[in-house]
Amino acid sequence: MFFKKTEIYSIENIEKDFYDMPEAFVAYIRLNSWRKKQSRISAKINRLKKYYQKPTELFARLVEGLYLNPQRIQIIAPHTYKRFYELLNSGYYKELSNLSEYLFNHDFSDKRP
């Protein structure tokens, strides 16, 4: 048994598929298609901004960066780096106490940015 092939209509070839459609209507369909596309892109950007600008997420990225390349973090954000170590050494971040041991006992000679 053979199934009928499904046709997919695209906004790129709307004139070919519907050759008798008025030009104004084609333009209207394209405009609405672009609006929807812009809306999807804007929603994605806003969702990512909301996620990456949360204080908890920023702190997690800082700690991750300190594990991966502390010299790079020190170059990028010197004040944040200094304040983090002040708080770490004063015992504010008890759960991260092993971070200072890790950083001071490892050689980070790879100077990649």
Per-residue pLDDT tens over the stretch 43-93: 999 999 888 888 888 888 988 988 888 889 899 999 998 998 888 888 888
Whether residue 96 is found in the same domain as residue 62: yes
Q: Which pLDDT score is estimated for 16?
A: 79
Range of the domain at 80: 54-105
Predicted TM-score (pTM) above 0.75: no
* More confident: 77 or 103: 77
Looking at the structure of the chain, the number of domains it has is 2
Residue pair 59/96 in contact (Cβ under 8 Å)? The answer is: no
Whether residue 63 is found in the same domain as residue 39: no
Q: Which pLDDT score is estimated for 96?
A: 81
Residue pair 30/11 in contact (Cβ under 8 Å)? The answer is: yes
